[in-house]
Amino acid sequence: MFPEKYNPEPEEYNPEEVLTWDDVDRAAAHLLPQFNGEFDGLVMITRGGLFPGGILCEAMDIKNIHTAAVQLANTPNKTMAWPTFLQFPAESQVSGKRILVVDDIWADGTNMIAVKSRLKAAGAYVETAVLHFRPRSNLFPNTGPDYYGAITDRFIIYPWSVSPGFSSDYLSAPPPPPSSPTQPG
């Protein structure tokens, strides 16, 4: 059974932290010396892991690059449902290989644990890396990323994220009617 999802009281919410590309570069630079040896491939968890994964692939000269697209169930208690994989590397591409799985943040850990478990079941030797680890919201006690750039309790807004206050619902809503010009009085 999955653990109870952490739901802090409103006064416990921590402020947002808006990162720049320089901040991302510093977090990636902090990750690089932590790795021991070479990886046979890298799996980026979409969408947040695409940018840090790309940065790490380039810096570490990793040529075998894959993506894992994960979708959590749209239910009130998302912690009870196993994610659906919309995209995942074939077993033949990862079996017997040392694979680094990358995402931008380990918040509750469900995406990373799901991807790591599926890769291990396919015979891969899996290690995980994120730019930020948020242990307070982690659903998996005594588990976390193998490598991380920083620990935080803040809500991180990455340069590739949608701007604060912008709802993705806006993208599917019809455009507002054109406003009529005001007549000078």
* Tokens standing for residue 82: 């196993």
What are the domain boundaries of the chain? 13-74+81-163
Helical (H) or strand (E) element with 114: helix 110-121
pLDDT < 70 regions, the chain: 1-14, 74-81, 162-185
Check residue 82 and give its pLDDT: 72
Check residue 15 and give its pLDDT: 84
**Sign of the C-alpha dihedral computed for residues 159, 161, 167 and 172 taken in this order:** positive
Whole-model pTM: value is: 0.78
* Tokens standing for residue 105: 């943040």
Check residue 95 and give its pLDDT: 98
Check residue 8 and give its pLDDT: 44
Q: State the Cα–Cα distance between residues 107 and 109, nearest whole angstrom.
A: 6
- Percentage of residues in the chain having pLDDT higher than 90: 62
Fold of 13-74+81-163: Rossmann fold (3.40.50)
Kindly write down the DSSP assignment for every residue of 38-89, as one continuous string: --SEEEEEETTTHHHHHHHHHHHT---EEEEEEE---SS-GGGSPPEEEE--
Check residue 78 and give its pLDDT: 54
Angle between helices 50-60 and 21-31 (to 10 degrees): 50
Check residue 74 and give its pLDDT: 66
Residue type present at position 11 = E
pLDDT in tens, 9-50: 444 556 888 899 999 999 999 999 999 999 999 999 998 999
Contacts 24+ apart (CB under 8 A), 150-155: 150/27, 150/30, 152/17, 153/14, 154/14, 154/15, 154/16, 154/17, 155/13, 155/14, 155/15, 155/16, 155/17
